[in-house]
Amino acid sequence: MYEDIIEEVITEVLHRLSEYENTCINKKTLLVLSDESYPLSEVITKEYNLLTPDLSGNQKVVELNTMVSCAEVILITGVTAKQLAGLALLCGDGYLEEAIRYAHMLGKTIFVLEEGLEYRSYKATAHKAFYRKLLEYEECLKHYGILFTTESVFPFYEKQVKQSTLRNQSGDFKSNTSYTMEIGGATEGRLELKKKLILEKDLMDLNVKSQTAICIEKGSIVTPSALDYARAHRMRFIKM
C-alpha cells in the first residue's frame, strides 16, 4: 500500500521537475539591474528567467560579474544622473557601472527602461546646459549599443533586435541599429505614420506606391513582417 503511494508521489515529482526544466530551457536569462526593487510586469517575469542581484552594496563584484556572464540579456530599470554620467564616461565605481563595463567587454545585449531615467523628470526645472549634457550622455550610451525601450514593449523589442542582428549577420541588413532607416531607393513622396507599433497591415492600409518614405516617431517599433513588406515594396522608414 505504502509502496504504491510512494511511487505515485515520486512519479508526480519527476513529472513536475521535467515540466520546470523544459520551461526554464525555453526561457532566456534576463539580468535586471537597479538600485531599488523595481516591480516588473507579469509579461516580463513569465518570459524570462530573472537574475536580480543586490546592488545596494552587499553583492560582491565577482558574483555580479558571474551573473553578467550567465545572462543573455541585461535590463537596467533605473539610472540616476550620476550613473548616467558614469556609464557614458566609462567611469564611476558603483556596482551598476562595474557591471555594464564588464557587459560591454562581453558583448552583451543591454537595454535601459526610459521610465527609469531619473533626469527626464526634471526637464521643466533643470538648468538647460546641464540638461543638454545629460542628453549627450544618453546619446553616448546609444553609441555604445545600449538600447532604450519601455517596459510595455520590451519583450517584443528584444526579440525584434535579435532577429535584426541575425539578419545583419546573414547580410540582409546593414546594421542592427539602422534597419528601420534605409529600405529601398529614391522616394516619390513622404507619409507620416504616427503609431508606436508599426504592423504589416498598417503599411498595406496606406495603399501607396513603391519608393515611398514613411515618417515614423523616434520611439516607434517596426515588426519584422512590416520590414519585409517595406523591403518588398521599396519603402524606407525615416524616424522624426
Burial class (CB in 10 A: 0-12, 13-18, 19+), 146: buried
C-alpha cell at 124: 521643466
**pLDDT computed for residue 202 by the predictor:** 84
Residues 214 and 210: their CA atoms lie apart, in Å, by 11
Q: Which residues of 37-62 are buried (b: 16+ CB within 10 A; e: fewer)?
A: ebebeeebeebbbebebebeeeeeee
Q: Tell me which architecture the domain covering 2-162 has in CATH.
A: 3-Layer(aba) Sandwich (3.40)
**pLDDT computed for residue 122 by the predictor:** 96
Contact between 73 and 29 (Cβ < 8 Å): yes
Tell me which amino acid residue 188 is: E
**pLDDT computed for residue 97 by the predictor:** 93
Per-state percent for the chain, helix, strand, coil, to nearest 5: 50, 20, 35
Per-residue pLDDT of the chain (240 residues; tens, 9 = 90+): 556 666 666 656 555 544 444 444 468 899 999 877 788 888 898 889 999 887 766 667 788 889 999 999 999 999 999 999 999 999 988 889 999 999 999 999 999 999 999 999 999 999 999 999 999 999 999 999 999 999 888 988 887 776 666 555 555 444 333 333 333 333 345 788 888 888 888 888 887 766 578 888 877 888 877 887 887 777 777 776
Identify any residues that bridge with 198 across adjacent strands, giving them in sequence order.
222
Contact between 114 and 150 (Cβ < 8 Å): yes
Residues 88 and 139: their CA atoms lie apart, in Å, by 9
DSSP letters spanning 97-140: HHHHHHHHHHT-EEEEEGGGBGGGGGTTTS-HHHHHHHHHHHHH
**pLDDT computed for residue 90 by the predictor:** 94
